[in-house]
Amino acid sequence: MLKSKTFLKKTRAGGVMKIVREHYLRDDIGCGAAGCTACGGAHEGPALEPQPQDPASSLCPQPHYLLPDTNVLLHQIDVLEDPAIRNVIVLQTVLQEVRNRSAPVYKRIRDVTNNQEKHFYTFTNEHHRETYVEQEQGENANDRNDRAIRVAAKWYNEHLKKMSADNQLQVIFITNDRKNKEKAVEEGIPAFTCEEYVKSLTANPELIDRLACLSEEGNEIESGKIIFSEHLPLSKLQQGIKSGTYLQGTFRASRENYLEATVWIHGDNEENKEIILQGLKHLNRAVHEDIVAVELLPKSQWVAPSSVVLHDEGQNEDDVEKEEEREQMSRRHLFTPADKRIPRIRIETRQASTLEGRRIIVAIDGWPRNSRYPNGHFVKNLGDVGEKETETEVLLLEHDVPHQPFSQAVLSFLPKMPWSITEKDMKNREDLRHLCICSVDPPGCTDIDDALHCRELENGNLEVGVHIADVSHFIRPGNALDQESARRGTTVYLCEKRIDMVPELLSSNLCSLKCDVDRLAFSCIWEMNHSAEILKTKFTKSVINSKASLTYAEAQLRIDSANMRDDITTSLRGLNKLAKILKKKRIEKGALTLSSPEVRFHMDSETHDPIDLQTKELRETNSMVEEFMLLANISVAKKIHEEFSEHALLRKHPAPPPSNYEILVKAAKSRNLEIKTDTAKSLAESLDRAESPTFPYLNTLLRILATRCMMQAVYFCSGMDNDFHHYGLASPIYTHFTSPIRRYADVIVHRLLAVAIGADCTYPELTDKHKLADICKNLNYRHKMAQYAQRASVAFHTQLFFKSKGIVSEEAYILFVRKNAIVVLIPKYGLEGTVFFEEKDKPNPRLIYDDEIPSLKIEDTVFHVFDKVKVKIMLDSSNLQHQKIRMSLVEPQIPGISIPPDNISNMNLNGPEKKKMKFEK
């Protein structure tokens, strides 16, 4: 059954080396058609249907399989993913080429292949005795592969005929390469282009929209004017980058000005640089997030970023173009992406009337040199603009949050219900069910991942335990469930929805440390004296039985009430006492207390519309729980770093560069306050001192500003970095251990800790620092995106809120002063907005901007940072796609600019309570 064949596979230049590889040809590779007798029993896994009931094709009425070539797979993956397309043979040659050329498409095609219902079959033609072809002299690799594909197609057709004489089954070769198609037809293989085939599927006309338009002929715009210069060939680029004439970087379109973009140069040794690009011609068809090569202009032509806000909306010529096209050919339309950084896209569709006013997904196929906009094709219809579900879907997509329901493969790794703790589970586990453990969480929390206890020991010391849900017990390394949670990285909390990282059975049931049930936990137990000094630390896997699930408010009530003396209350009081000492110690060390406005929506229970906004309230118990979580995280960080100095997953918060603080220092100066920023401690102290008796909210505002100066905290692998310091918490080492249900980082940390204490076994990826670094990179990205998604969700709900509320006037404070606008914060709603002073159709007022003491003089009124103003808030829905909150000035009154105050302005000036920081620790 083995045929061996040895041949010279390739020679590599640069010290020419001869590489000899064996290549075995087999005769046991099945054709994939279920029930094929010629190669019976040779196939496993997903197979082709014996009699495919495919959508009727007018070109090919009899049942058939499809066999696409590489380019079809690469470019028309959207079509192939459609449920209507089934029974496709993917050749190994094709798959390898796809793998080399585009990792995302390769991943998608693998997903499709794994889907049983799609009946995709991968045929290993390179190792099949009859379909292997050798590269001929003078034939290049591409031609060889094309030939290999044709040979395989031919073999298939002959093979299927052999199956039974009256078999009508055919294999149709799909290629967009004209020459290849001609050759195939010559050889007697039924071949069509992708377009021909898809158009022939009369039952599924909507598929045509999903075709990527690649053929240049059909799409040329009448005005043959060439707008853009040609892109350089890759070889030239690589040469240029090597020699330093070109710089490679990530293209980032500006949100504010569509004619401007920056390129981030990511050099390895030098600092990251930013290069500005201006003008359509220089942008040369790059789209946001592309990797581009740029050449610097001579210094004389260097420009500064124009601090002007410029949107594409006012472009008349485009609108004209749009209409023209409608008239000429009713199938072509311009698509306006929700993200302003992406240019508009020309698409072709027949369902324009149904798609109007809807959110749709479009893929970009190409950008011809003579077109102002790229060409694309329609992929998916999401729903009506403004619908809550649609908008949520959009913001999830926009922030790349994986939110599809968990696949069967993932769910198959869940424990079977009814679940109970078995003997086996008890191995390496301590029974802590007798302890009086309780959990304290926000109201309505179903994924409880932490619980606490505190009791007095016989020697007078206190025993404090933090018990974290043992998620790593259920998520075993390497399986589909693990991979999916690793990919999601974090649970995303939107205003009315939660996108779970792990399936609900785990997040809200088996892992959730609910009261009065036995749950598996990972415990961190300290012995402390009464001044909160740690005497002993112990980590163990355990079984606990929580005695109570409290909310912050309930816990606070218990602590405060004088006549409650039960175990839970004493435990809470002990914890609270220790937490206060711990917090004091932490602040003495220089931990920062920052602030950011946070709001919570009260939802209507039926319509899920927001009916009221409330800023989050913080109680002692919040800080109590937080204090112990910090302590547990720090203890665990020390332990895993001790045990795995090279591959501990830690979290650091780099100190911001001094220039970041400039704005804070300047703003404080304008109020005659001094902020020291040399160390975290001095910053914390100066923030504490910065109070004004006449202006109590000032301190909060300063803290909000200080938060903006901070760097993003990140996960990293200890072997890849040497700076572990967490600036915000003033801790030399830190990690995340306490929320494994909602963060994947914690799952990894749990595994590391379990190995460190010998409760679980390790696996190769865990001790591979490069793999760990990759995980960290993904986690950091997901966390950032989750945060953005959260903010976007709040913004959307704020809009809904104001839509129902109508126009209101509120008191606000100026946070930043810009050249043509001020950014204000409305404490009541925790809402931030921009008040513009320049409008398109109004005469511009006289604006004088002073950079030194950030201030803006409009006519005769001067605005400083922290000034109190009154603004009117309304919902601007003039742009269907981007509804936004618009604010305009009411007080102080500036003739011609401010708006007369509303009579029905509902002024409610109970300044909200001081809020605490909530940047991700």
Partner 1 sequence: MAGLELLSDQGYRVDGRRAGELRKIQARMGVFAQADGSAYIEQGNTKALAVVYGPHEIRGSRARALPDRALVNCQYSSATFSTGERKRRPHGDRKSCEMGLQLRQTFEAAILTQLHPRSQIDIYVQVLQADGGTYAACVNAATLAVLDAGIPMRDFVCACSAGFVDGTALADLSHVEEAAGGPQLALALLPASGQIALLEMDARLHEDHLERVLEAAAQAARDVHTLLDLVVRQHVREASILLGD
Chain positions 756 to 795 lying near partner 1, rule: CB under 8 A, are: 761-764, 767
Task: Give the CA distances from residue 765 to residues 637, 774, 884, in Å, rounded to whole numbers and listed in that order.
Answer: 19, 11, 46
Report whether 339 contacts 356 (CB < 8 A).
no
Beta bridge partners of 346: 334, 375
Among 108, 110, 144, 199, binds partner 1 (CB under 8 A): 110
Whichever of 129 and 884 has its CB closer to partner 1, that residue is: 129
- Of 106, 86, 82, nearest in space to 94 by CA: 106
* Residue whose pair of structure tokens reads 């591409």 in the numeric block: 142
Whichever of 135 and 762 has its CB closer to partner 1, that residue is: 762
- Of 119-127, 345-353, 440-448, 743-751, which segment contacts partner 1 by CB under 8 A? 119-127
Whichever of 123 and 251 has its CB closer to partner 1, that residue is: 123
Whichever of 89 and 704 has its CB closer to partner 1, that residue is: 89
Chain positions 17 to 46 lying near partner 1, rule: CB under 8 A, are: 17-26, 45
Whichever of 32 and 503 has its CB closer to partner 1, that residue is: 32
Smallest separation (angstroms) from partner 1 to the CB of 482: 12
Q: What are phi and psi of 406, to 5 degrees?
A: -65, 140
Among 39, 99, 553, 593, binds partner 1 (CB under 8 A): 99
Whole-angstrom distance, CA of residue 445 vs CA of residue 600: 14
Residue 880 engages partner 1 in binding (rule: CB under 8 A): no
Q: How many residues bind partner 1 (CB under 8 A)?
A: 31
Smallest separation (angstroms) from partner 1 to the CB of 127: 4
Residue 2 engages partner 1 in binding (rule: CB under 8 A): yes
Binding mask 805-844 toward partner 1 (x if CB under 8 A, else -) reads ----------------------------------------
Whole-angstrom distance, CA of residue 263 vs CA of residue 297: 14
Residue 692 engages partner 1 in binding (rule: CB under 8 A): no
Q: Which two tokens stand for residue 268?
A: 């390895």
Smallest separation (angstroms) from partner 1 to the CB of 111: 11
DSSP string, 882-893: --EEEEEEEES-
Taking CA 719 as the corner, what is the angle to CA 715 and CA 725, rounded to the nearest 5 degrees?
A: 50
Smallest separation (angstroms) from partner 1 to the CB of 293: 19
Chain positions 446 to 485 lying near partner 1, rule: CB under 8 A, are: 478
Q: Is 837 helix (H, G, I), strand (E, B) or coil?
A: coil
Residue 122 engages partner 1 in binding (rule: CB under 8 A): yes
Binding mask 124-143 toward partner 1 (x if CB under 8 A, else -) reads x-xx----------------
Smallest separation (angstroms) from partner 1 to the CB of 188: 28
Among 37, 100, 164, 712, binds partner 1 (CB under 8 A): 100
Whichever of 20 and 417 has its CB closer to partner 1, that residue is: 20
Residue 4 engages partner 1 in binding (rule: CB under 8 A): yes
Distance of CA 880 to the CA centre of its chain: 25
Instruction: Show Cβ contacts of residue 104 under 8 Å, excluding neighbours closer than 6 positions.
Output: none
Among 38, 56, 84, 103, binds partner 1 (CB under 8 A): 103
Smallest separation (angstroms) from partner 1 to the CB of 483: 12
Whole-angstrom distance, CA of residue 903 vs CA of residue 893: 15
Smallest separation (angstroms) from partner 1 to the CB of 124: 5
Smallest separation (angstroms) from partner 1 to the CB of 113: 7
Q: Is 402 helix (H, G, I), strand (E, B) or coil?
A: coil
3-state secondary structure 19-85: EEEECCEECCCCCCECCCCCCCCCCCCCCECCCCCCCCECCCCCCEEEEECHHHHHHCHHHHCCCCC
Chain positions 75 to 94 lying near partner 1, rule: CB under 8 A, are: 92
Pairing of strands 450-456, 714-717: unpaired
Residue 535 engages partner 1 in binding (rule: CB under 8 A): no
Whole-angstrom distance, CA of residue 403 vs CA of residue 364: 22
Among 14, 15, 40, 758, binds partner 1 (CB under 8 A): 15
Q: Which two tokens stand for residue 681?
A: 């401690």
Task: Give the CA distances from residue 818 to residues 261, 604, 839, in Å, rounded to whole numbers and listed in that order.
Answer: 20, 38, 15
- Of 96-104, 188-196, 221-229, 739-747, which segment contacts partner 1 by CB under 8 A? 96-104
Report whether 180 contacts 194 (CB < 8 A).
no
Beta bridge partners of 19: 10
Q: Which two tokens stand for residue 889?
A: 């000035």
Whole-angstrom distance, CA of residue 718 vs CA of residue 735: 11
Chain positions 507 to 526 lying near partner 1, rule: CB under 8 A, are: none
Residue 57 engages partner 1 in binding (rule: CB under 8 A): no
Is residue 29 packed enough to be buried (19+ CB in 10 Å), middle (13-18) or exposed (0-12)?
Answer: buried
Whichever of 127 and 784 has its CB closer to partner 1, that residue is: 127
Whichever of 480 and 611 has its CB closer to partner 1, that residue is: 480
Please report, as ranges, the residues that interact with partner 1 according to CB under 8 A: 2, 4, 6, 15, 17-26, 45, 92, 99-100, 103, 110, 113, 122, 124, 126-127, 478, 761-764, 767
